[in-house]
Amino acid sequence: MKLSASARVLVTGAAGFLGSHLCDALLAEGCSVIGVDNLCTGKAVNLRHLAGEPRFELMQQDICQHFDPGPVDYVFNFASPASPVDYMDLGLETLRVGSDGTRNALDVALQYGAAFLQASTSECYGDPKVHPQPEDYWGNVNPVGPRSVYDEAKRFSEALTMAYHRYRKVDTRIVRIFNTYGPRLQSRDGRVISNLMTQALRGEDLTIYGDGTQTRSFCYVSDEVDGILRLARSGEHWPVNIGNPEEWTILECAQQVLAATQSSSKIRFEPLPVDDPVQRRPDITRARRLLGWEPKIHLNQGLELSLPYFRQCVDRGELARPVEGTALPASLTRPEAATD
């Protein structure tokens, strides 16, 4: 099943950061879009500009419950808390949406003969021992640590997606999404770019967890969505990394934020969260070869493009969300003794 301009497309998690940008891109291609979201972490404001768009409708619905959107040609399963502070606050909900929610979304695809694309994550690689991470690396995930509610939910989603492909012949895709940023990333999201941009614009200290030498690779949202749509149109069933291979330490990222915002904020070091991956960078050989995809927007350009959005957030009085908000006490997040 190919993604055609006349397709009727279901997007779960439509009110989220990535889901809402995906809806925009699908509508721009001529598709009709049914968005589904329970507004648990997604925000209706992300879809406000689509009010009155006849090819778009939003169902407020938890995909962990059975649901029927009617006939669809393609299902994009993007529903899940995705930021560490959110998924650690909503641990059980995150596990449930990765299991029951993914199964319900796959059942919609099965029922209507639709193609299916699962939003997966670089977190499947955990704290990776192979660098950069190719898709055939199985990862180094702590299955009982605080991040496991997300990592294992997404790994289970991948397993379920491959099983529906193998046993039910559903035409599936899996995208492993690396850190993505841009407008609509909530200032309260708790992720590094939203926290640092918000703090810099408010003239507050930038919170760096650990010594800031851990690395991430940041992909601007339009590049990410372009890669996802290319994968959707391809015939590839194996996972494909979509992320920007430019790798930055978190300290370098903070310097880029200070330059983009022309802020004189200072840096404040805070404790590193448990199981925070030391390094992360996608190997995008497969995406280049199969999809002809390559990100175009460098971090400094993407931060400039995001600046007006974060200024609006700050003008509305929105705050960053430091990691202290995590609900679990230390005794539940830290093992008594490290084991290998």
What tokens were used for 131?
Answer: 């660098």
Question: Closest distance between ligand UDP and the C-beta of residue 208, in Å?
Answer: 4
Min separation Cβ 109 and ligand UDP, Å: 27
Least gap, CB of 186 to ligand UDP (angstroms): 12
Selected catalytic residue, list 150, 164, 181, 220: 150
Nearer to ligand UDP, 15 or 192 (CB): 192
**Nearest one of 227, 241, 217, 223 to 296, comparing CA atoms:** 223
96 vs 216, beta carbon nearer ligand UDP: 216
Kindly tell me the burial class for residue 163, based on how many C-beta atoms sit within 10 Å of its own C-beta (0-12, 13-18, 19 or more). Answer: middle
* 267 bridge partner residues: 206
In this structure, the strands spanning 206-209 and 180-181 are unpaired
Task: Pick between residue 134 and residue 322 the one whose CB is nearest to ligand UDP.
Answer: 322
Nearer to ligand UDP, 42 or 84 (CB): 84
From the CB of 149, what's the least distance to ligand UDP, in Å? 13
Residue closer to ligand UDP by CB (options 146, 227) is: 146
C-beta of 244: minimal distance to ligand UDP in Å? 13
Q: Give just the sign of the alpha carbon dihedral 242, 243, 244, 245.
A: negative
DSSP secondary structure letters along 88-146: HHTHHHHHHIIIIIHHHHHHHHHHHT-EEEEEEEGGGGBS-SSSSB-TT---B--TTST
Q: DSSP characters for 208-223?
A: EETTS--EE--EEHHH
Which residues bind to ligand UDP, rule: CB under 6 A?
84, 179, 191-192, 195, 207-209, 214, 216, 250, 273, 276, 322
Active site residue 150: yes
Least distance CB 147 / ligand UDP (angstroms): 8
Strand-pairing partners, residue 207, are 268
First and final C-alpha spacing in the chain: 44
Residue 258 identity: L
Length of the chain equals: 340
Is the CB of 116 or the CB of 248 nearer to ligand UDP? 248
| CB distance 86 to 92 below 8 Å | no
The residues carrying an active-site annotation are: 150
